[in-house]
Amino acid sequence: MRSLLPGLLLLLFTGQALGHATLVESQPDDGATLERADEAVVLRYSEGIQPRFSDFAVHFLGDDKAAALTHDNRLPRAAPEVTDRNQVVRVALPENAADGWYALDWEVLAEDGHTTSGTLRFRLAAE
C-alpha cells in the first residue's frame, strides 16, 4: 500500500499538467443569443492551442436549434483570429448571416499535443 501512495499523490497534483485545452468560456454562452452587432463568437481555452492544427466550422441551422450538422448547412470557412497566448479564438460570422440558430463545431489541438472538441449552439438576432 505504501508504494501506491507516491503514485496517487503524483496523479493528484499533476492533473493540470495532464489536462487538455478545455473550453472555459464562450461569448455567447451555449444556447444564448448573439447580438447582430457582435457577429463573432469568442472562445477561451484553458491553455494555448495550435491554430494550424485546429478546426472551427460554423453551421446555419435556421429555426431548428437541434438540427444535425451536415456539409450542406456548413458555411464557408474563414480563418479565425487567435490571440492571448493562443488561448482566445474569435470566429467571425459571414457579413450576410441570417437571423436564426447556428452551431460552431470545434476541434483544437492543445500545445501539449492533446485534442478536444465540442459544439456551441447559439442564436443570431437583430438588436
Domain that holds residue 84: 20-125
Asked whether 108 and 116 are in contact (CB, 8 A), the reply is yes
CA 7 – CA 20 distance, rounded (Å): 21
- Reported as a single tens digit per residue, the pLDDT across 76-103 is 988 999 999 999 999 999 988 999 999 9
Report yes or no on 15 lying in a domain.
Answer: no
Q: Identify the pLDDT of residue 45.
A: 98
The single-letter code of the amino acid at 22 is T
Q: The CATH number of the domain where 90 resides is what? A: 2.60.40.1220
Q: Is residue 63 part of a domain?
A: yes
Report the chain (127 residues): mean pLDDT per 10 consecutive residues.
44 49 97 90 97 97 97 94 97 93 97 96 89
Total domains in the chain come to 1
* Nine cell digits for residue 100: 436564426
- At residue 3, the pLDDT reads 52
Contact 24, 118 (CB under 8 A): no
pLDDT recorded at residue 19: 64
